[in-house]
Structure 1
């Protein structure tokens, strides 16, 4: 199945500091591509994988679950740690949960975590119905493109496959239980006005991690997909400053390796 235009994975070979970016549920690398390119232009090694079942058609996602999505980012992290001296993990929405689990499980191999509107729970009455509903109804309306900025569009599915949503619900429960194992420095940015993930999810993450170096930033001008919204540049700048503080050897401007 061909990948949707713009949804391709992205990789840049830069310096000794690596960054793994994880996109969200039913989304694609397109939502993170400007962030990835921003970091790459400043000399970092960047990996932005396409999660299995994403970036093609929603029916393909019905055949995947959280184990597939996590395995993909786990593999990407191992590739980065084999090549780079320091590695940071970043994520949007479900990608935030993936990043937090990587931090919980990989310990010192992860130098810091940056999450934007991280998901922690599937909310609403429909969530309770998922175990049964997924056998009766294949999909429901999509959640893509919750963006305040006019003309900015997310490449994602217009339907949510319910088998995958049920797996996501189970994954969020798993990650919630592992949050106390997250000890790395954490930068959490979230939108007070988010129509996909409520602020309660960010509050839950902040309350449960064991990190002592924690920074919380409100994205007042953006909705859920803040990486494509009015606050995108702020996310990029704050993440680079966070990485630069923890890894002072970061090349701030330009890559010495080319490409």
Structure 2
């Protein structure tokens, strides 16, 4: 196995971030091979609007890829559900948002529970990489996929902290999460705001449309971004995303109050 580059997750931005305030809390979840740093600017933007927030690092993330290899999709889902349960004990209203795989976990929480509102961001209903479906066949022969670390000029570098690769078996778990989230969309009835960029080169372009067509929510919409990458929460559109989510969550809160 070739030597993989190490990632330094010692930055405080990579650590879970929590601010308790108000009656409405928001759970924020990063994506596959990412870290809590990807959700930090959005969390801070919501705090400025009066929301309580909590970001988490999913099991096997922001440590080592060996840790990730030992985790399964059930571990990620259980961590998300446990964080949501804890926030339900702390707040009258709890909304959920997540990036990429975190967006799929957001949908799965709404499929199984009762958040005030949800906002899946760059949530894949399909993946553009044509080799993705073959991960389960490749895993025994290619245990790990890695790449040279490089910074995307469209992303804020201080927050662009995630693995420079992933265990191949973890891609199989990601595929399972996408499958589970997509197959149970009809169970979602809470307000839904999807966020997706035309510049996303990771997920299928119709992902947001598939979600909105599949859910049974009466209140649903989409924030369409232009030309920013998949990890749009740390792009130049970050402030716009935070404002849109804050407004949407407040409207859902007001509706739940009446």
Q: TM-score of the superposition, structure 1-length normalised?
A: 0.88
Q: Who is 1:55 aligned against?
A: 62
Aligned length: 246
In the alignment, which of 167, 174, 180 is matched to residue 174 of structure 1? 180
In the alignment, which of 203, 210, 224 is matched to residue 197 of structure 1? 203
User: For 1:67 and 1:146, how far apart are their aligned partners in 2?
Assistant: 31
User: Residues 45 and 239 of structure 2 are in contact (CA less than 8 Å); yes or no, is this contact kept in structure 1?
Assistant: no
User: For 1:146 and 1:172, how far apart are their aligned partners in 2?
Assistant: 27
Instruction: Give the secondary-structure state (helix, strand or coil) at the position aligned to 2:135.
Output: helix
Q: Give 1:103-252 correspondences, 5 Å limit.
A: 103-106=110-113, 109-141=114-146, 149=154, 152=157, 154-248=160-254
**Structure 1, unaligned runs of 5 or more:** 250-259
User: Residues 189 and 218 of structure 2 are in contact (CA less than 8 Å); yes or no, is this contact kept in structure 1?
Assistant: yes
**Aligned residues: CA RMSD:** 2.1
User: For 2:35 and 2:83, how far apart are their aligned partners in 1?
Assistant: 16
Instruction: Give the secondary-structure state (helix, strand or coil) at the position aligned to 2:94.
Output: strand
Q: Who is 1:95 aligned against?
A: 102
CA drift of 1:180 comes to 0.7
Q: 4+ residue stretches of structure 1 with deviation over 6 A?
A: 143-146
User: For 1:146 and 1:195, how far apart are their aligned partners in 2?
Assistant: 16
Q: Who is 1:257 aligned against?
A: none
Aligned pair 1:76/2:83, yes or no? yes
**Structure 2, unaligned runs of 5 or more:** 1-7
User: Residues 39 and 240 of structure 1 are in contact (CA less than 8 Å); yes or no, is this contact kept in structure 2?
Assistant: yes
* 1:104-161 Cα distance to aligned partner (Å, 9 max, x none): 100xx31111121112234443223211211111112359988552653510011121
User: Residues 139 and 161 of structure 1 are in contact (CA less than 8 Å); yes or no, is this contact kept in structure 2?
Assistant: yes
Q: TM-score of the superposition, structure 2-length normalised?
A: 0.88
Instruction: Give the secondary-structure state (helix, strand or coil) at the position aligned to 1:247.
Output: helix
User: Residues 147 and 222 of structure 1 are in contact (CA less than 8 Å); yes or no, is this contact kept in structure 2?
Assistant: no
In the alignment, which of 39, 49, 52 is matched to residue 42 of structure 1? 49
User: For 1:40 and 1:204, how far apart are their aligned partners in 2?
Assistant: 30
User: Residues 115 and 187 of structure 1 are in contact (CA less than 8 Å); yes or no, is this contact kept in structure 2?
Assistant: yes
User: Residues 155 and 234 of structure 2 are in contact (CA less than 8 Å); yes or no, is this contact kept in structure 1?
Assistant: no
Instruction: Give the secondary-structure state (helix, strand or coil) at the position aligned to 1:43.
Output: coil
